[in-house]
């Protein structure tokens, strides 16, 4: 059996050695709360795991050793990280990839003929191919690397929206969208005269799909929707929305930040014109995300930023532009981070996105409006508390959270 110490010291990713790890190899960590004395007593007396216990180990138990940040205590309490909706933690193999890039082949991409540049370019473009395969894009040229999903949405808003929207046109969104999917279209609306149309909630508190369908008209030019809500957790029927939008000639942009890290996503099956996601929610580095766009549509769009890499030829009075995706990747990109995203995708793929989707429950605890103020106003509340899990969380952590929540409720409802 591979011990936790050996596995951690070798910085190997989890999936190749999954069959060799039992619950003893990845001790569950509690949250910023103290275990009750009852729970502490029961855990202290646990014997070495049997073969039956090993085979029953959860995905969270088996993967925790790959996430050294989870092996911490604060003020004597074990860390439970339930803020994965905001950002995920990174496995050791992703950090190792970043370290190897900066130690051994740090160089600019696409522009050098020396060995370091060639190696960096190969790794960077390999990461693009991994992203394309991960979401089943028709071609890796449909994947544009951006700083994050926010930049990807802004790219579409400015490069497509500013050229295709005019006075009287309509942009359809739901009130449950993240601010990053609302504010860029407010900018475009103010500059073009296009109108924003918002879909409200049903009595069950989820976006009203029938209302969305009713808002679609010949004036609708683009529909901007989430795949999975970062606050409500509800999932929209993207394939249906695309079908309805196509009938009136409208484009569809999907914010997939909360779906791509947690479930299989097939962009060809969904059929949306644009889809965005962020690396840092996918166990990858911060500072990089991606836009998937249909290639013919990307080819028809103007550049978002000007500079090196995105040009074909530069003259004194004008320039011609490269084909996508280079057209939208001006300047030196986040090379190491993109390569790290590729490693994160390898890690997730080896586990299996369907397995991750089936395992994850739904509890980090984050308070505030979660970049969804319009939704909170609609619900009649100023803020909410969100607990968001990932596959490396365990049942024991959920138990700790529930105990702490009960204690909090008791405290707040008791007479002092």
Looking at mean pLDDT, say which of 19-23, 333-337, 367-371 comes out highest: 333-337
Tell me how far CA of residue 67 lies from CA of 10, 18, 121, 282, 284, in angstroms.
13, 14, 28, 13, 12
List the alpha helices (DSSP H) in 113-266.
Answer: 115-134, 149-156, 162-164, 183-192, 209-215, 238-247
> What is the average per-residue pLDDT within 362-373?
45
Mean predicted confidence (pLDDT) in 95-124: 96
What pLDDT band is residue 383 in, cutting at 50, 70 and 90? low
Task: Identify the three-state secondary structure at position 78.
Answer: strand
Cα distances (Å, whole numbers) of residue 17 to 4, 5, 77: 11, 14, 29
Model confidence at 364, pLDDT cuts 50, 70, 90, reads very low
Contact at 8 Å (CB) between 327 and 321? yes
pLDDT > 60? residue 140:
yes
352: left (phi over 0), alpha (psi -120 to 50) or beta: left
pLDDT at residue 2, rounded to an integer: 37
pLDDT per residue as tens digits for the range 219-270: 999 999 999 998 888 899 999 999 999 999 999 999 999 999 999 999 999 9
User: Does the 92-351 domain belong in CATH 3.40.640.10?
Assistant: yes
Query: What is the pLDDT at residue 56?
Result: 64
Q: Is 371 a known active-site residue?
A: yes
pLDDT at 305 over 70: yes
pLDDT value at residue 44? 28
Say how far apart CA 29 and CA 398 lie, in whole Å.
10
Asked which of 36-45, 155-164, 204-213 is least confident by mean pLDDT, the reply is 36-45
Residue 130 pLDDT > 50? yes
What do you get for the CA distance between the two ends of the chain, in Å? 53
Residue 47: pLDDT band by 50, 70, 90 thresholds?
very low
Q: pTM (2 decimals)?
A: 0.82
| CA distance linking residue 71 with residue 120, whole number of Å | 32
- pLDDT above 60 (res 379): no
Q: In the prediction, which pLDDT does 226 show?
A: 97
To the nearest whole percent, how much of the chain has pLDDT over 70?
A: 79
Between 8 and 201, residue with greater pLDDT: 201
pLDDT at 36 exceeding the cut of 90: no
C-alpha distances in Å from residue 323, one per residue of 162, 298, 317:
20, 9, 20
d(CA 272, CA 247): 13
Q: Which of 93, 257, 283, 371 is catalytic?
A: 371
DSSP state of 310: S
Would you say residue 50 has pLDDT above 90? no
More confident of the two residues 44 and 125 = 125
């Amino acid at each position: 059996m591979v011990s936790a110490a050996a596995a951690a010291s070798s910085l190997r990713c989890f999936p190749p050695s999954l069959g060799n790890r039992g619950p003893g190899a990845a001790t569950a960590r509690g949250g910023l709360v103290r275990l009750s004395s009852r729970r502490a007593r029961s855990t202290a007396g646990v014997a070495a795991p049997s073969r039956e216990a090993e085979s029953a180990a959860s995905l969270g138990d088996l993967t925790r050793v790959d996430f050294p940040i989870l092996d911490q205590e604060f003020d004597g309490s074990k860390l439970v990280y339930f803020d994965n909706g905001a950002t995920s933690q990174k496995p050791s193999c992703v950090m190792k990839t970043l370290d190897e890039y900066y130690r051994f082949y740090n160089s600019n991409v696409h522009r050098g003929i020396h060995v370091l540049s060639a190696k960096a370019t190969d790794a960077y473009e390999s990461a693009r191919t991994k992203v394309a395969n991960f979401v089943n894009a028709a071609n890796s040229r449909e994947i544009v690397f951006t700083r994050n999903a926010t930049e990807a949405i802004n790219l579409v808003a400015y490069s497509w929206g500013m050229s295709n929207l005019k006075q009287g046109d309509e942009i359809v969104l739901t009130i449950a969208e993240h601010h990053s999917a609302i504010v860029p279209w407010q900018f475009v609306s103010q500059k073009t005269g296009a109108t924003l149309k918002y879909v409200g909630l049903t009595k069950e508190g989820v976006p009203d799909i029938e209302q969305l369908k009713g808002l679609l008209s010949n004036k609708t030019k683009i529909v901007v929707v989430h795949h999975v809500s970062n606050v409500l957790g509800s999932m929209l029927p993207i394939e249906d929305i695309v079908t309805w939008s196509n009938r009136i000639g409208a484009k569809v942009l999907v914010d997939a930040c909360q779906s791509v890290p947690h479930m299989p996503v097939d962009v060809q099956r969904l059929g949306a014109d644009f889809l965005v996601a962020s690396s840092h929610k996918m166990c990858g580095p911060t500072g990089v995300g991606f836009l998937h766009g249909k290639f013919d549509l990307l080819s028809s769009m103007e550049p978002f930023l000007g500079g090196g890499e995105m040009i074909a030829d530069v003259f004194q009075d004008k320039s011609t532009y490269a084909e996508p995706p280079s057209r939208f990747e001006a300047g030196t990109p986040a090379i190491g981070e993109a390569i790290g995203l590729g490693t994160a995708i390898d890690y997730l793929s080896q586990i299996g996105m369907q397995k991750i989707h089936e395992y994850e429950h739904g509890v980090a605890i984050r308070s505030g409006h979660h970049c969804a103020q319009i939704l909170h106003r609609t619900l009649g509340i100023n803020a909410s508390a969100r607990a968001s899990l990932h596959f490396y969380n365990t049942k024991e952590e959920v138990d700790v959270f529930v105990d702490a929540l009960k204690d909090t409720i008791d405290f707040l409802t008791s007479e002092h």
